[in-house]
A and B are shown apart, each in its own frame.
Chain A
């Protein structure tokens, strides 16, 4: 149980293009999903928190117009990196939680490695 998938697992795009990453909770309904970014040899940095049906809450320093988050259903959230630049190259990881399932535990997807050339 508590399986979270992400797609794609790896993407290479050209500078200036946009990339969409999907995050799905496969066997539970996720009231809250989180998006993280991890640079090499660094810890996870929370980018934003999204609740189903409402606007995402972005962490300080994260550009909401650049990183568009949509949480349209209880099993799907998407992160779109708009006008990507090489400095956006990173490992993007989503997680999902549900208070019904277990208080405050977050289950992570396998991550998406983005390379912007």
Chain B
């Protein structure tokens, strides 16, 4: 069983629409959750971090976390063509569980295409 699962996509949305990206994780002791954006040929860029249940908003981005369901999502409002990228969900467990170092476990990513 994969530790962090994402639908690989591609997810296609029209410009101006809301894009909804989903992620599930298997380790119940996971504490920190991140969304990274990766353009083709580039390294990941941190978009959002979320640590507690509920919603966290930053500009056009909203991260949602439900620890009971082991589910984290990212909503992108007013999607723009420049949002077209692969979105990586990443999860950490407490250092005492992983053996130290705040290791990130990545999902395989969801490719988002925002169409004109």
Q: Do A and B make up one complex?
A: yes
Does B43 sit within 8 A of A, measured CB to CB?
yes
Residues 89-117 of A, flagged 1 when their CB comes within 8 A of B and 0 if not, give: 00001010101001111111111000000
For B109, what are the chain A residues with a Cβ–Cβ distance below 8 Å?
Answer: 43
Partner of A57 from the list B31, B100, B108 (CB cut-off 8 Å) is B100
For B92, what are the chain A residues with a Cβ–Cβ distance below 8 Å?
Answer: 104
Does A51 sit within 8 A of B, measured CB to CB?
yes
For A51, what are the chain B residues with a Cβ–Cβ distance below 8 Å?
Answer: 100-101
For B100, what are the chain A residues with a Cβ–Cβ distance below 8 Å?
Answer: 49, 51, 57
Q: Would you call B44 and A108 a contact (CB within 8 A)?
A: yes
Does A19 sit within 8 A of B, measured CB to CB?
no
| Total residue contacts A-B, CB cutoff 8 A | 55
Residues 25-65 of B, flagged 1 when their CB comes within 8 A of A and 0 if not, give: 00000011010100000111110010100000000000000
Does B106 sit within 8 A of A, measured CB to CB?
yes
Q: How far is the CA of A108 from the CA of B45 in the complex (A)?
A: 7
B1 CB, min distance to chain A CBs, angstroms: 16
Q: How far is the CA of A33 from the CA of B75 in the complex (A)?
A: 29
Q: Would you call B106 and A105 a contact (CB within 8 A)?
A: no
Given A103-B32, A103-B51, A105-B34, verify A44-B103 contact (CB < 8 Å).
no
Q: Would you call A105 and B43 a contact (CB within 8 A)?
A: no
Partner of B103 from the list A42, A46, A102 (CB cut-off 8 Å) is A46
For B49, what are the chain A residues with a Cβ–Cβ distance below 8 Å?
Answer: 102, 104-105
Residues 19-58 of A contacting B (Cβ, < 8 Å): 32, 34, 42-44, 46, 49, 51, 57
Q: Would you call B99 and A44 a contact (CB within 8 A)?
A: no
Q: Would you call A44 and B88 a contact (CB within 8 A)?
A: yes
Residues 99-115 of B, flagged 1 when their CB comes within 8 A of A and 0 if not, give: 11111101111000000
Could you list 23 A-B pairs, sorted by A, with CB under 8 Å?
A32-B101, A34-B104, A43-B107, A43-B108, A46-B104, A49-B103, A51-B100, A57-B100, A57-B101, A93-B43, A95-B104, A97-B102, A103-B51, A104-B102, A105-B34, A105-B46, A105-B49, A106-B34, A106-B46, A108-B44, A109-B43, A110-B43, A111-B43
Chain A residues in the interface with B (C-beta under 8 A): 32, 34, 42-44, 46, 49, 51, 57, 93, 95, 97, 99, 102-111
